[in-house]
Amino acid sequence: MARASLLHSFTKNLEVTDLRWMPEDGFSIGRLRIELLSGLTVALALVPEAVAFAFVAGVHPLVGLYAAFLVGLITALIGGRPGMISGATGALAVVMVALVAQHGVEYLFATVVLMGLIQIFAGVMQWGKFIRLVPHPVMLGFVNGLAIVIFLAQMSQFKVPGTMVDTGHGMGGGEWLSGTPLFLMLALVAATMAIIWVMPKITKFIPAPLAGIGIVAAVVIFTGMDVPRVGDLASIEGGLPMLHMPFGEGIGLYGTALAPFNLETLYIIAPYAVILAAIGLIESLLTLNLVSDMTGTRGGASQECIAQGVANTVTGFFAGMGGCAMIGQSMINVKSGGRTRVAGIAAAVFLLLFILVGSPLIEQIPLAALVGVMFMVVIGTFAWNSLTILRKVPLTDAFVILLVTVVTVYEDLAVAVVVGVIVSALAYAWNNARRIDATTRDSHSEEGAKVYEIHGPLFFGSSDGFAELFDVAGDPDRVIIDFADSRVVDQSALQAIEAIAGKYEAAGKHVALRHLSRDCHKLLTKAGHLMIDSDDDPDYELAVDYSVRTGILGGH
């Protein structure tokens, strides 16, 4: 019975998910062209990102590229949100580096497999819907922090190729460009940004980011400018090979041996897998919400969890570093016109072609062009209106926006979101705790009885304030507590009501409740203190009981 209910719930989730391959206006050559060109633009931006994140994690560039291809392809096929792009990400890489440094890359692949299985479980259990609990101020802080992170990540491209070293926390350090190389880099970045800004005003035949990359790359190649290029990323100190290696040799890079399948391995990889799964799902689901808001269409959160899990499980077996949704590349895709699964699939296929046959050409693309594209993503991602609303929103919301932004930059996206949600929840609980009060009057129906009309929610935060509303010693022998304007939320509220009833009974006085839910009556009358005063109580239920009965706490 439970299995059938679970299957029905999952099927229902799939029914409301956007699974189309083309927009509602139907197929057209023009739409297909936009989707393919958008995918090509994303693929070009994926190459340096995947390689750079592989360096951060301390693994071979192909490990990042395989992850970008496999994760991107699988999530494009079965993900919960057309238009989203997934691949190797920095948020996961910074967690992986410690595992790789201590135990070796073989344990990373096992961790990615377990990470995927955990994500599949989360999707089957329909846990993706809890992303609704992320408040809007947290989302604002999240996108602002993300924009800053993307911007700071581009700073490494302004360093002299070949000077990056292993810092023990991934690749870092390096000498900054100066003089003419720096001037050329800045000029090309500015040129790319200008092309992206002007191109939509001239024509929309080619996505503006692709036009920016193509024009700047053509100028650099034909003039022979000596500027950092994509190929330079694969020739850092340590002699890592170039990108064009046969697909499938990733495993051969480390030998065919995998981590031993035993409990010791599980103890090693389980903590990392749980952290990676959580970070990946949070970033993916927030990206899903962001893209849904931009496109005005709905996505399936739980289906996205399953898609991410399947993608990571498969990637782990193919020697990939795993991944999740990439907000920067998703923004590039959406702004380039990509709206369907075709764009995501095209991006993955183009990336595979780059790895197999096109790397000599891709390696000639100047990094400045890709930096310019990402800088435009930063400008489009940052919620500039949040700077003006900071003075208009409540102080708590302004604090949450700034807090999440700072934590995102200095820690990671998942920690920032969790911190933001916790602070928002505590602020909400505190504000509601102060709302509990009562007005008193004489009863119209019973002579000599005193009525307490409770206002505001009664829950763990307001239970102490609720107890302070009553004058047990000074009240008459008959007291009525009316909950018509209140709401009993949790077990702490029930305990507070029972405690008050016990005090009145100890004083030899009688207390009755009105407009309290029947569930509360059932629980409270077991104590023998209460009298059901009327049968006009509302039908609302306690949150804790409702959760158990509907399966929310049980995973249905």
pLDDT, one tens digit per residue, over 105-118 is 888 999 999 999 99
CB 141 within 8 A of CB 400: yes
CA dist 452 and 321 (Å) reads 62
CA dihedral angle for residue 249, residue 252, residue 253, residue 255, rounded to 10 degrees: 170
**How far, in Å, are 86, 105, 242, 366 from residue 72 at the CA level?**
5, 21, 22, 24
Q: Which residues are bridge partners to 488 per DSSP?
A: 458
Using CB atoms within 10 Å of the CB of residue 467, give its burial: 0 to 12 exposed, 13 to 18 middle, 19+ buried. middle
Report the DSSP beta bridge partners of residue 172: 165
Angle (CA) 85-113-414 rounded to 5° is 55
Domain assignments of the chain as residue spans, ordered by start: 2-21+28-255+265-389, 437-550
Cα–Cα distance for residue pair 427/486, rounded to 1 Å: 20
**pLDDT tens for residues 320-366?**
888 999 888 888 888 888 888 999 999 999 988 887 877 777 778 88
- Report which of 268, 276, 231, 287 is spatially closest to residue 80, judged by C-alpha positions: 287
Encode pLDDT of 457-480 as tens digits. Answer: 888 888 889 989 999 999 998 998
Read off the pLDDT of residues 402-429 as tens digits, 9 standing for 90 and up. Answer: 999 999 888 777 788 889 889 988 888 8
β-pairing, 171-172 with 165-166? antiparallel
pLDDT in tens, 301-323: 889 999 999 999 999 988 888 89
125-135, pLDDT tens digit by residue?
Answer: 988 888 777 88
| pLDDT of residue 538 exceeding 80 | no
Question: What amino acid is encoded at 454 in this protein?
Answer: I
Residue 430 has pLDDT above 80, yes or no: yes
| Predicted TM-score of the model (pTM) | 0.68
Q: How far, in Å, are 186, 511, 535 from residue 477 at the CA level?
A: 83, 8, 22
Question: In Å, what is the CA distance from 5 to each residue of 14, 345, 521, 541, 545?
Answer: 14, 33, 30, 22, 19
pLDDT at position 163 is 55
What would the CATH number be for the domain defined by 437-550? 3.30.750.24
- CB hemisphere CA count around 128 (13 angstroms): 35
